Amino acid sequence: MTEAEARREATARLFRSVRAGRSWLREAALSSGASASTASSLPGCILMRSGEGPPVFMIPGAPGSVLQLGPVAAALTLPMPVYAIKPRGFDEGETPFDRLEEMADYNIRIITDVKNSGPYLLVGYSAGGLIALEMARRLTMAGHAVPIVVLLDTYPSRQLWPLYCHLAILARQTIKSVWGLRRYSVARAGQYLGDRKHTLLWYLAQCGIRGITPSPLIPEGASPASRRLHQATVSAGEDYRPAPYRGRVVFLQPRENNNLKPRSPEQVWRRFLTDLEVRQIPGSHLTAVEGDAISTAAEVSRCLAPFAEAR
């Protein structure tokens, strides 16, 4: 499988989990002790686990991420209730927001309906981490306590990454391309180099280089609502410019870090986050919330445990 095909397959897995995950969420809510009427009384918010203490709010990224976070929520070793926020546009007939700031305000209205004052514990996956950060900034400015924000492999737009970070990534890609040629015959070398070129163009397009259009990753089988929400979330994340945030942030970095990401998240985040800690978790961006969800949940639990008794 080429790298371009691997990226498309990874995105397709997100959308397949949307279709497969709806029944999981209903069963998870019921098994946690929440009735169907209880879940429906919280518009835009799904109770994934009941409990005592300050609630944990999990924010999804692209469509399907909220459903993939189900295994993580189920494996948390904490007494607190866990909620997942459904972004507007997830259901058919809804129009997603265009700006990440609007998504943050929408989420804040939802969580303050659940609990009208802090502390608020936020966990964001992928692009959802950007929404969680903006929520934390706005909640803090409004006088609410946000003891911690946990980011599951979240980065801002590549256009904001420092130049030396891009140079290191491009150098690794060049070395990988030259070294990889040794494994291919002359007949297959052209196909290999074509795939490497596609990866380079995709990366440069993500960096904001004009005149390059990345190939779409959204699978044709995705529902129109999922396609709209995915595009809106990606576009909002690319346009978002984080303001400095002084609160505590823990970044969970999967050990299987591909060559298109920085080796150290601090390289990207240090200019925006004052109190940042990076912890490693097993797996990759996707397996961290799938096959490695138990390990991810254990690390999230360790991050949130000091705040379990807060009121």
Q: Cα-atom radius of gyration of the chain, to the nearest Å?
A: 20
pLDDT score recorded for residue 196:
61
Identify the bridge partners of residue 149 per DSSP, sorted by sequence position: 122, 249
pLDDT score recorded for residue 136:
98
Tell me which amino acid residue 49 is: R
Closest CA to 96 of 184, 214, 3, 223: 223
Strand 82-85 to 45-49 pairing: antiparallel
Is residue 230 exposed (0-12), middle (13-18) or buried (19+ Cβ within 10 Å)?
Answer: buried
Letter string b/e over residues 88-126, b meaning 16 or more CB atoms within 10 A of that residue's CB: bbbeeeeebbeebbbbbebbbebbeeeeeebbbbbbbbb
pLDDT in tens, 53-86: 899 999 987 765 567 788 888 889 999 999 999 8
pLDDT score recorded for residue 39:
37
Among the residues of the chain, which ranges form H helices? Answer: 3-31, 36-40, 65-68, 70-75, 100-114, 127-141, 163-181, 186-206, 224-239, 266-269, 293-304
Q: How far is CA 49 from the centre of its chain?
A: 20
pLDDT score recorded for residue 15:
43
Cα–Cα distance for residue pair 296/93, rounded to 1 Å: 34
Q: What is the mean pLDDT of each run of 10 residues along the chain (311 residues)?
A: 48 45 48 40 76 91 69 89 87 85 95 91 95 97 96 94 87 72 67 64 65 54 71 89 96 86 92 96 89 93 89 58
Tokens of 240: 């978002």
pLDDT score recorded for residue 35:
39
Give the list of residues 6+ apart from residue 281 with CB closer than 8 angstroms, or none.
252, 253, 254, 255, 288, 292, 295, 296, 299
pLDDT score recorded for residue 218:
54
pLDDT score recorded for residue 112:
94
DSSP element (H, E) containing 58: strand 56-59
The pTM of the full predicted model, rounded to 2 decimals, is 0.82
